[in-house]
Amino acid sequence: MLIDPLSDVLALLKPQTYVAGGFDLAGEWSIQFAAHTGVKCYAVLSGRCWLKLDGLATPVHLKERDCVLLPNGQSFRLASNPSLAPTRFEEMHSIDWRGGIATLNGGGEVSVLGGHFAFAGAHADMLLGAMPPIAHLREEDDKTNLRWALERMRHELADGQPGGVLVAQHLAHMMLVQALRIYLSGGAGRHVGWIFALADPQLSAAIAAIHAEPGASWSLGQLARVSGMSRSSFARSFQATVGTSPIDYLTRWRMLLASARLAEGVLSVSAIARSLGYGSESAFSTAFTRVMGSSPRAYAKAGHASGKSHPWPLTAVLRPSA
């Protein structure tokens, strides 16, 4: 069976928020958007505008057919001129909303589609936290797909058709995969994080082996053999690319699976421990508490009490520890 580690992680993400709409703008304008969770994306259908991301000195000039994704949550502004003083989006009372499209100053000059999708739980923080703040789509196919997905999501959420929420969830996943592929291809620059190891055939072979058998008694030597590298070369390359050791990655992936299984409430703690290669519940609980900051039983109890899948924040489950 083909093992796809990225799909493994994405399968644990639970779409929680998905919003799609657009702007029809004219004249002079500058709109400030607050910090956000999850991913925001924009596609310019016509005209030109500027994107100024807080923390980045140089604004990005967006022209017709350009598309960008913002996965890190920083506040930002869209503007006709980057030198204009911005107005916070929630304070723009002159906007006319119709069918999910916000019209300003009569519209007709700049048309932008936008989407926002967030995912529940710490898995999303793990996946998105190590990414650069902006991805500018370059390939025409990527742009076309994003524009289609945004427009489809807007219609699904506005029309209220049966199954519309499920379609919106799948579209959110699709757009996230598209963004991740851009990072894997190197289109957003080189960074340290587990996802970048997937672009390396040797390191990705070891990660795929861990995902295929998370309960196996993996050693550094065994994983090095799977990768086709010497033990020392594999350890150095994995640490440099992922930001953590192979065994630490194995432990953290096991705890991520454990948190999902605890949230489901079907298996006992001891059964989860055995399925993930721990000979005793005590050893598993010690590892879980170290990574998650809570005992397995307390984690499961809090999740059931709150009705949420993942009650505690994960600090870098599959990325370097702070």
Question: What is the CATH classification number for the domain harbouring 238?
Answer: 1.10.10.60
How many Å apart are CA 273 and CA 269, to the nearest integer?
6
Burial letters 66-93, b for 16+ CB under 10 A, else e: bbbbbbbbbbbbbbbebeeebbeeeeee
Between residues 80 and 91, which one has the greater pLDDT? 80
Contact predicate 65/110, CB 8 Å = no
On the question of pLDDT at 187 being above 70, the answer is no
Between residues 22 and 305, which one has the greater pLDDT? 22
Question: What percent of the chain shows pLDDT beyond 70?
Answer: 80
Query: Do 178 and 216 belong to one domain?
Result: no
Query: Do 173 and 201 belong to one domain?
Result: no
Helix (H) or strand (E) holding 286: helix 281-292
On the question of pLDDT at 157 being above 70, the answer is no
Q: Tell me the CA distances in angstroms from 269 to 258, 284, 286, one per residue in order.
A: 9, 9, 12
Between residues 98 and 58, which one has the greater pLDDT? 58
The residue out of 184, 218, 235 marking a domain boundary is: 184
* Claim: this prediction has a pTM higher than 0.75: no
Q: Tell me the CA distances in angstroms from 233 to 238, 239, 245, 287, 309, one per residue in order.
A: 8, 10, 12, 27, 38
| Phi-psi sector, 244: left (phi>0), alpha (psi -120 to 50), beta | beta
The answer for residues whose C-beta is within 8 angstroms of residue 166's C-beta and 6 or more apart is: none
Query: Do 139 and 234 belong to one domain?
Result: no
Write out the residue range of the structural domain in which residue 209 sits: 194-306
Of 64-78, 224-238, 244-258, 267-281, the one with minimum mean pLDDT is: 64-78
Query: Do 172 and 207 belong to one domain?
Result: no
On the question of pLDDT at 13 being above 70, the answer is no
Query: Do 88 and 232 belong to one domain?
Result: no
Between residues 22 and 306, which one has the greater pLDDT? 22
pLDDT for res 311: 34
- Which amino acid, 28? E
Q: Band the pLDDT of 68: cuts 50, 70, 90.
A: confident
How many Å apart are CA 132 and CA 56, to the nearest integer?
11
Q: Tell me the CA distances in angstroms from 148 to 79, 134, 164, 230, one per residue in order.
A: 24, 20, 16, 46
Query: Do 26 and 174 belong to one domain?
Result: yes
How many Å apart are CA 150 and CA 21, to the nearest integer?
8
pLDDT for res 131: 65
Between residues 161 and 265, which one has the greater pLDDT? 265
Helix (H) or strand (E) holding 114: strand 110-120
On the question of pLDDT at 126 being above 80, the answer is no
pLDDT for res 14: 66
Length of the chain counted residue by residue = 322
The residue out of 154, 184, 214 marking a domain boundary is: 184
Between residues 4 and 30, which one has the greater pLDDT? 30
Query: Do 180 and 243 belong to one domain?
Result: no
Q: Band the pLDDT of 15: cuts 50, 70, 90.
A: low
Between residues 321 and 133, which one has the greater pLDDT? 133
Mean pLDDT of 218-225: 96
Query: Do 138 and 224 belong to one domain?
Result: no
